[in-house]
Amino acid sequence: MNDQIRILLVDDELDFAETLAERLRLRSFDVNVVSRAEEALNTIDAGWKPDVVLLDLKMPGMDGMDALIEIRSREPDVETIMLTGHGAASSSIEGMKRGAFDYMMKPVDIGELIEKVEQAVAKKGNGG
Amino acid sequence: MATGTPHGRSEEDALRQAQVAFIGRIVAASTHKFHNHLAVIKEYSGLIGDLLRSDQPDIRKVIDRCGDISGSIIERADQAAAMEEALNRFVHRGDVALSLFGAGKAAEELFLLYHICASRRRINFETQVAEGVPDIVNSPALFQFVLYTLTSEYLESLDEEGTIAVAVTPGRDGMVRVALTVTGEVDREPELDAESHGPLLLALEKLGARLSGPRPRGQAVEALLDIPSLQEE
């Protein structure tokens, strides 16, 4: 299914994000990594429109929840998967209520993550 | 004897609750960081597996990359181990009600955890201990709680180049003087009024300590703590 799916990965833990991105690229995904929510919005505003955003919940500056709302208002058809640490399940559920496609606890299983990304893209392809 | 508060809770209970909340915040921040280390280690390990299974024709390149990743795993494991050690020392401070401790060492421990937990903010933490500072016989956990109460607001409000510094020197009459200085821009004024800090006042009383400040001093904010030591006259 992966027809160069574009993923915007937003996480301030850059070692985690860059390594996950490398693993996704090895599987032929087109991945852009940024470390702050504000950079993610700038990337989208500059015209790099992702199919799916992988969004860390807890970041300095604008947090994942506020970024989710901003992304949804700019690009309603871009699906977002929230990435969370432990103890953040309630925030993740709140994210779902605010329009996130799904959420995953870190550390993520790469197989499960790809499955969710592809489901998100399929939903997008079906017009939500 | 403990006195009642408007909420019917004793001051002792309020202090205990504030100390538990303090420890909880430090432990929660540390375990979150620890969780991040594990998540990164798992991704690195996964990447090694991916590279070894890939059909990359240049084996030398794969081996070199795996070697680099292995080094990164060791670095992360070392950071996690250092954090675990600092956290372990910190929680053991609460094991005993009274012990002999150095104010500088106890401040250093707390600042190390601040640094680890807040490493994405570039706040500087400095500790200076002069020669000949006598030890304190009291509760080091209570001392760390006082430092935390005086500094925690700044962790959120201070800009990324700010400094939180503690200088420990011998004071008068066998007291230990702890000078706490915060330098840098704050995006909002920390609330440090004494009335809202009942637990702080009780902790100071239990330490037999006198607090002067916090007050502005030049570009900085300074608070002075005088705590009785072993050599108090």
What's the rounded Cα separation, in Å, for the pair B136 and B100? Answer: 6
Please say whether the structural domain B97-228 has been given the CATH code 3.40.50.12780.
Answer: no
Q: Tell me the DSSP string of A6-21.
A: EEEEE-S-HHHHHHHH
- Write down the pLDDT at residue B77: 95
B47 CB neighbours in chain A (<8 A) are 19, 22-23
CB of A16 less than 8 A from some CB of B: yes
Chain B residues near any Cβ of chain A (below 8 Å):
28, 31-32, 35-36, 38-40, 42-44, 46-47, 50-51, 54, 72, 76, 120-121
Domain boundaries, chain B: 97-228
ipTM (interface predicted TM): 0.87
Q: Is A16 close to B39, i.e. CB distance below 8 A?
A: yes
Report which DSSP code applies to A47: T
- Write down the pLDDT at residue B4: 47
Longest dimension (CA), chain A: 35
Report which DSSP code applies to A108: P
User: What confidence tens digit (pLDDT) does each residue in B149-177 have?
Assistant: 888 777 777 777 788 888 999 988 888 99
Paired tokens of B55? 């059909």
Domain boundaries, chain A: 6-125
Segment among A65-79, B8-22, B162-176 with least mean pLDDT: B8-22
Smallest CA–CA distance, residue A68 to chain B, in Å, is 21
Q: Is B42 close to A26, i.e. CB distance below 8 A?
A: no
What's the rounded Cα separation, in Å, for the pair B179 and B149? Answer: 14
Taking residues B65-77, what's their average pLDDT?
95
Segment among A2-6, A45-49, A114-118, B36-40 with least mean pLDDT: A2-6
B-facing residues of A in 44-83 (CB < 8 A) are 58, 60
User: What confidence tens digit (pLDDT) does each residue in B103-160 have?
Assistant: 888 888 888 888 777 655 677 888 888 888 888 989 999 999 998 888 877 777 777 7
Beta-carbon contacts below 8 Å between A and B: 48
Q: Is A13 close to B39, i.e. CB distance below 8 A?
A: yes
Q: CB-based burial of residue B24 (10 Å sphere; 0-12 exposed, 13-18 middle, 19+ buried)?
A: exposed
CB of A112 less than 8 A from some CB of B: no
Pick the more confident residue, A44 or A93. Answer: A44
Question: Which of the following CATH numbers is that of domain A6-125: 3.90.1300.10, 3.20.20.10, 3.40.50.2300, 3.40.50.1970?
Answer: 3.40.50.2300
Angle in degrees, CA B107, B112, B116, rounded to 5: 150
Q: Which residues contact B4 (CB under 8 A, 6 or more apart)?
A: B10
